[in-house]
Amino acid sequence: MCGRFSQSGDLEVVRKQCKVVECSVDDRPRYNIAPSQPAQVIFNDGITKAAMLRWGLIPSWSEDETIGNRLINARAESLNEKPMFKNLFRKRRCLVPVDGFYEWQKTGRFKQPVRIIMKDGTPFALAGLWDKWVSPAGDTIDSFTIITTDANELIRPIHDRMPAIISPENYLLWLDPEVTDVKLLSQMLNPFSSEKMRFYPVSRIVNNPEIDTPECIKPLNPDDTPQLSLL
């Protein structure tokens, strides 16, 4: 599962790697993005774009937008089986650039939130699907869901699922709507290497989706402060 993430770092590096042609994002740092909120997403809609999409997929055929509240995640194993995801998996894939995501580790009587990042502190991209929905009144909403896969060795003690992370060398392939080989695409959704990742405990204020401040990503232990790569 993926229920929260952050876009607080410099995501331009991911946009450049994706060769974004049109960019209309709000680049203000976001520390605690929750379902139903807008987030930066990279997708191909004739050209490669970076824009703000609502988190929670609203399929084009939906009668109303409330279905998006239930479709924040999609399991990698069933993308080619479920009718609501099958065509999107072939034609409307996206990337969600992030610098970390959250999970909750059971500790005694409560769950301790932890932030999961790359060891070198660099941004990375989560695999997703997107769609365009037009309301009965004619309003258009672009929305997305994050694909999940089995947890790697690092995350497994915390949760049995994790967001599927796409390697940079596969960004362009994943975004290309002309690529429809399900076997090839599915191979990109394997658990990401645990050796490149780490996590650290953060404040329980991230439990509140209305709190979106730097305190959300601040380590409880100062020794856990992320060190950004100079490369």
> Which pLDDT does position 226 carry in this prediction?
66
**Residue 135 in this model has a pLDDT that exceeds 80:** yes
Distance in angstroms (rounded) separating the CA atoms of residues 120 and 122: 6
Phi and psi torsions of 90, nearest 5°: -85, -35
Which of these ranges, 65-69, 91-95, 186-190, has the smallest mean pLDDT? 65-69
Q: E-strand spans in 21-83? A: 22-23, 30-33, 38-44, 48-55, 73-75
Locate the domains of the chain by residue range: 5-224
Are the CB atoms for 135 and 173 separated by under 8 Å? Answer: no
**For residue 166, what are its two tokens?**
């796409």
pTM of the model: 0.94
Region 145-151 average pLDDT = 98
Q: E-strand spans in 45-86? A: 48-55, 73-75
> Which pLDDT does position 90 carry in this prediction?
94
Mean pLDDT of all residues belonging to the chain? 93
Distance in angstroms (rounded) separating the CA atoms of residues 39 and 26: 8
CATH topology of domain 5-224: hypothetical protein yedk fold (3.90.1680)
Give catalytic residues, as residue numbers: 2, 103
- Could you tell me which residues come within 8 angstroms of residue 85 by beta carbon, excluding any fewer than 6 positions away? 74, 78, 79, 129
**Residue 231 in this model has a pLDDT that exceeds 90:** no
Q: Is 86 left (phi over 0), alpha (psi -120 to 50) or beta?
A: alpha
**Residue 34 in this model has a pLDDT that exceeds 70:** yes
